[in-house]
A and B are shown apart, each in its own frame.
Chain A
């Protein structure tokens, strides 16, 4: 799935890197504004269930989405609003799923970050951490069997998910089958409230790459340029048949686990470390320093995404909620095999 949620900026004489950076920044901004909107709707009691933000992880996430092409497979997780937009998920999907519109891709059957279009390569995550990675493997193996070459799959997870058996099984499986999998671990230093010291005991998660037979790379997840370069290179290596890739990013989750969580357990000292800076701010500073965008341009871009988000919300607010009487209550596609419980 590839469509762009933003109007292309008329580009004059800019380098491909500058163009990519500008695109990435504007998608990050859209993701942040959208996330912030969900947070305020949550506080206003307008959202059923939880809200999970990607605040502080937009640079890494957008780089994941932009490293992929049409026809690739993407398994985003809870903090990947930016990556989803970059991969081509319409804003409407996010808003409809959070607000429970019957017209959304999940039709009110599932909510918030559990959404996707599997047939278009955007997998709809289940909650169970680590479980999506082997699904990406399966899609990649199927493509190989069908003789489709040149596509890659990218799965995201946090530091906590690396402790699951599913993560281990799936990485080993990808390596055994030499699949073009890019596994991106956002080490945001916490899994809910649990710090990494209670999650794993190796020096770095990057060490795991060698153990699985992956190519490994590490990146500062707050540096958009570095993320774009690292993720593009990893996807390119996988695409070129050089086997599965592990990318570990250092950053800090700049929000609670979900909006219900005030993250009081995050030590204030941590928040002042370089790895804790806000990637969106950092890229704005970079844009200005490079003179790729001035303050009025940044303000105009922000106004544009705010308007986009508001328009989408206004549209979705008018859409119908799912109707239990119209719901068919069939869990199988073969209806004749469904049992008719009353």
Chain B
């Protein structure tokens, strides 16, 4: 048996619905249709009245989730694409993220964001939103890169008493497979050493972890041992694990699929520079998408985001410094 990243997300939701009567799912086309990506397939039939189609009203979807959370429910909101969560931005960052701090009432909502580029996705169906949400106090931002994490972190997201932005990468949905669902997981907030090495640390998250692992394989044939750190959640950000890795390798490359200005890669580099400057043998580097909207055509898209060849080139340059 094997299970995909997408199936893991569906199974996690099924389990959450099954185990906790406070959980419900609300989003566009999530009901009988099973969602645009089929992440909720069959759930409406299995859990009648708890998997509800929403009108195309992202603001009201998120607002409704907050109201339900105040009443003790644990809603999961599916944004059809992460890009459309901008319409819910106000409710997420001003309503959900401030509720506990202002009123002492927790806000256990999970906002699922199908994010990231896919071939032909274009400017409005491809965006990475993690940095924008991570910027705001009061939100937890998860970026699972494996089938196992997609499953266990989504269950954690529902269990956490705070709003969680769950960034699930569309490219991984059907392409990433595991043998079985995990029975245990690292705690939220803990990064994972996806591959051990001693020459260079590549810090990545979400789909970029897979690209980094390809690069590590490739560079291994050239005699380099690359350590890959999978952040798992970008907020909280596990600076300790990153720092420990840099202490071993002395070289840092941080890779993200998001736009280049600010963001997770800049945050990681800033922390290492501030707290671990002496650990670095050479200046740290970051690699991001280009500073344009995400292009539609596969030729352009492949050049817009970091891919294994670009990451490998950046890594070789760093290794030779």
A298 interfacial by beta-carbon distance below 8 Å: no
Q: Is A169 an interface residue (CB 8 A)?
A: yes
Looking at the complex, which one of B67, B101, B237 makes contact with A140 (CB distance below 8 Å)? Answer: B67
CB pair B102 A134 closer than 8 Å = no
Cα distance, A339 to B68, chains bound together (Å): 27
Q: Which of B66, B100, B103, B160 has the most CB of A within 10 A?
A: B103
- How far, in angstroms, from A126 to B94 measured CA to CA in the complex? 7
Are B66's CB and A332's CB within 8 A?
no
**B90 A337 Cβ-Cβ under 8 A:** no
Smallest CB separation, B51 vs chain A (Å): 12
Give the shortest distance, in Å, between B118 (CB) and chain A (any CB): 28
**Which of B54, B101, B140, B188 has the largest number of chain A CB atoms within 10 A?**
B101
Whole-angstrom distance between the Cβ of B123 and the nearest chain A Cβ:
21
Q: Say yes or no: B64 contacts A331, CB within 8 Å.
A: no
Question: Bound state CA distance, A166 and B188, in angstroms?
Answer: 33
CA distance A105 to B24 in the complex (A): 30
* Contact A131 B100, CB 8 Å, known A137-B67, A165-B59, A176-B55: no
Residues of chain A from 60 to 89 with CB closer than 8 A to chain B in the complex: 73
Cβ contacts under 8 Å, A126 to chain B: 94-95, 98
The one of A170, A332, A333, A338 in contact with B63, judged by C-beta atoms closer than 8 angstroms, is A170
Report B-chain residues with C-beta under 8 Å of the C-beta of A338: 236
Contacts A124-B102, A173-B60: A138 and B69 contacting too (C-beta < 8 A)? yes
Q: Could you say which of B38-46, B70-78, B176-184, B221-229 contacts chain A?
A: B70-78
* Proximity bits, A296-324, B CB within 8 Å = 1, else 0: 00000000000000000000000000000
Within 8 Å by CB of B99, from A118, A134, A166, lies A118
Q: Is A180 an interface residue (CB 8 A)?
A: no
Q: Which A-chain residue is minimally distant from B62 (CB atoms)? A: A134
User: With A and B bound together, what is the CA distance between A118 and B91 in angstroms?
Assistant: 16
A270 interface contact, C-beta 8 A: no
Instruction: Say whether B195 faces chain A, with CB atoms less than 8 Å apart.
Output: no
Interchain CB contact (< 8 A) of B55 among A140, A173, A332: A173
Asked whether, in the complex, the Cβ of B140 is within 8 Å of the Cβ of A337, the reply is yes
Q: From A1-9, A51-59, A142-150, A201-209, give the one contacting chain B.
A: A142-150
Q: Are B236 and A135 neighbours in the complex by a CB distance under 8 Å?
A: no
A127 CA to B95 CA, complexed, in Å: 10
Q: Within 8 Å of chain A (Cβ to Cβ): is B162? A: yes
Chain B residues with a Cβ closer than 8 Å to the other chain, count: 48
Please tell me which one of the listed residues A124, A128, A135 contacts residue B64 in the complex, with CB atoms under 8 A apart.
Answer: A135
- Of chain A, the residue at the smallest CB distance from B98 is A126
Minimum distance in angstroms from B270 CB to a CB of chain A: 12
Chain A contacts for B103, CB-based, 8 A: 105-106, 116-118, 124
Q: Is A119 an interface residue (CB 8 A)?
A: yes
B59, A139: Cβ atoms closer than 8 Å: no
Q: Give the CA-CA distance A96 to B285 in the complex, in Å.
A: 51
Say whether B102 contacts A110, CB under 8 Å: yes
Known: A145-B24, A173-B55, A334-B162. A135 touches B140 (CB 8 A): no
Nearest-CB distance from B30 to chain A (Å)?
Answer: 14
* With contact pairs A118-B70, A137-B67, A138-B65 given, residues A169 and B98 touching in the complex (Cβ less than 8 Å): no
B70 and A135 contact, CB distance less than 8 A: yes
Contact of B100 among A136, A172, A333 (CB under 8 A): A333
- The answer to whether residues A145 and B73 also contact, given A172-B55, A332-B162, A337-B236 and a CB cut-off of 8 A, is yes
Query: Number of contact residues on A: which range applies?
Result: 35 or more
B66 touches A135 (CB 8 A): yes
- Does B284 have its Cβ within 8 Å of any Cβ on chain A? no
| CB-defined contacts of A198 to chain B, threshold 8 Å | none
Report how far A337 CA is from B103 CA in the complex, Å.
19
* B318 part of interface (Cβ distance < 8 Å): no
Interchain CB contact (< 8 A) of B90 among A118, A131, A139, A142: A131
Bitwise interface map of A from 145 to 159 toward B, beta carbon under 8 Å scored 1, else 0? 110000000000000
Of B60, B69, B161, most A-chain CB atoms within 10 Å: B60
Which residues does chain B contribute within 8 Å of A114, judged by CB atoms? Answer: 102
Q: Determine whether the beta carbon of A139 is less than 8 Å from that of B71.
A: yes
- Please state if B59 and A134 are interface contacts (CB–CB under 8 Å): yes
The residue among B24, B63, B72, B188 with the most chain A CB atoms within 10 A of its own CB is B63
A109 lies within 8 A of B101 (CB): yes
Minimum CB distance partner of B58 in chain A: A169
Contact yes or no, A336 B57, CB < 8 A = no
Confirm or deny: A266 has a beta carbon within 8 angstroms of a beta carbon on chain B: no
CB of B105 closer than 8 Å to a CB of A: yes
Q: State A178–B102 Cα separation when bound (angstroms).
A: 30
Residues of A within 8 A of B54 (CB): 173
* B248: interface (CB < 8 Å): no
A131 touches B102 (CB 8 A): no
Shortest beta-carbon distance, A150 to chain B, in Å?
A: 15
**Cα distance, A165 to B86, chains bound together (Å):** 13
- B117 located at the interface, meaning its Cβ lies under 8 Å from any Cβ of chain A in the complex: no
Indicate if A29 sits at the interface (CB-CB under 8 A).
no
Q: Measured between alpha carbons, how far is A333 from B71 in the docked complex, in Å? A: 16
11 A-B contacts, Cβ less than 8 Å apart? A110-B102, A128-B95, A131-B63, A138-B70, A169-B55, A169-B57, A170-B63, A332-B138, A334-B140, A334-B162, A339-B235
